[in-house]
Amino acid sequence: MMTIGLDDVIAAETVLSDVDGLQGRLVMRGRSLDDLAGHVGYEAVMALLFDGFFEHAPASWQAALGAARQEVFEHLSFADPALVAQEPIDAMRALTARIADGDESATALRLVAAPAVFTAGLVRLRKGLRPIPPDASLGHAADILRMAGLPAEPLQARALDTYLVTVADHGLNASTFASRVVASTRAGLVSSVLAAISALKGPLHGGAPGPVLDMLDAIERADHARAWLEAVLDRGDRLMGFGHRVYRVRDPRADALKSALGPLLQDGRADRERAALAQAIEAAALDTLRRRKPGRTLETNVEFYTALLLDALGFQRDTFTCVFAMGRVAGWIAHAREQASTGRLIRPQSRYVGPPVGEAQER
Ligand code: ACO
């Protein structure tokens, strides 16, 4: 039997995360998202995901990650103007490719540091500013904000930390699968992460939150929402931030991120009017999708509130996918190590539907 898109195909056993699409539940190594998001820092979730996958684990993952940020910062000196002019996700991927491949925890830490340090540095270089060197004594989230030149008080650092934890791992999504396929060839962690970044950048996966903000800008006023959304569906396009391959109910990560946005709104650090517009658009979109796609349950996914949260923190929309990578990279690495430990090459079959021998048309 063949399934285009591999829906419902189980292609790996994992101890890392479980996505229950019917109950709307996400579990990472036996801990539910509700117990992690807002309660545990990113370094702790990274250590949870990495546990048992490396021969040599550092005494303190947080200190080792801080040191790795300082190490990879050196690569920013190779960001020439042509590279800086690329889309941030492409430039960040190119700099990540400078890291020597390997399977050690030291390589893993450099790879976790890479999207954070390179994205922050690239954002500065694009503005003609010098990159800000990492501060190894800070938590990862606080240092990301500081390096990017964004407000980095505990309120913002906590919100970004919650985001990074929320997206750290999520079953066999497209980028994680890409990471596992490469790891199964024994190519090494850098190769696995580069494949994963490439898969993440597409708008059907991690490239959606920028377009979510474009949608808010285009709609402008709550009373314009319905007509605008209907027109998108009339064109046969999709509403960004809605729908999911696995969830048939609301994505639990959407609520985790909505909660993280709350304190920023209360404190006046996030634009309340924009948040109110977003909520009105979300309600109109869900209603429109229910009417227009009655055969499918299409609910809000993680990208909708990602857009609002990262915007409130001051990230530019063309860097949202890079910020996603800053969180998901821990999951990619843990899955790559888990896949490599099976020793089994991933190599499915395809069914040939081309012309029989002798019937091929000359071109
Ligand atoms: N807007 C409009 N219609 C949609 C949407 C959407 N957001 N999502 C699915 N549909 C429709 C499809 O057009 C299709 O309809 P049809 O049968 O009439 O052709 C049907 O619903 C297919 O539904 P699914 O099988 O549930 O969707 P699929 O698994 O193919 O796609 C995906 C999942 C890619 C996430 C899709 O919902 C989508 O494109 N969403 C918008 C982009 C987005 O938000 N991506 C981020 C996803 S979360 C993440 O990866 C981190």
| Ramachandran region, residue 149 (left: φ > 0; alpha: ψ -120 to 50; beta: rest) | left
Nearest ligand 1 atom to the CA of 297 is: 26
Select from 197, 244, 282, 332 the residue to mutate for testing ligand 1; criterion: most ligand atoms less than 8 Å from CB.
Answer: 244
pLDDT, mean of residues 156-179: 98
Give yes or no for residue 267 having a pLDDT over 90. no
Residue closest via CA to ligand 1's atom 29 equals 245
The pLDDT value recorded for residue 8 is 87
Give yes or no for residue 362 having a pLDDT over 70. no
Residue closest via CA to ligand 1's atom 40 equals 243
Indicate whether this model's pTM tops 0.85: yes
The pLDDT value recorded for residue 360 is 72
Q: How far apart are the C-alpha atoms of 294 and 179, rounded to whole Å?
A: 35
Instruction: Give the pair of three-digit tokens for residue 226.
Output: 């319905």
Residues whose beta carbon lies within 6 Å of some atom of ligand 1:
204-206, 208, 238-245, 293, 296, 298, 301-303
Residue closest via CA to ligand 1's atom 45 equals 204
pLDDT tens sequence across 232-250:
999 999 999 999 999 999 9
| CB-CB contact of 116 with 56 (8 Å) | no
Helix 209-219 vs helix 272-292: crossing angle, to nearest 10: 100
Alpha-carbon distances of 135 from 43, 71, 150, 241, 302, rounded to whole Å: 15, 11, 15, 34, 30
Q: How far apart are the C-alpha atoms of 285 and 221, rounded to whole Å?
A: 14
Catalytic residues: 244, 303
pLDDT tens sequence across 118-162:
999 999 999 999 999 999 999 999 999 999 999 999 999 999 999
Nearest CA to 238 out of 172, 144, 303 is that of 303
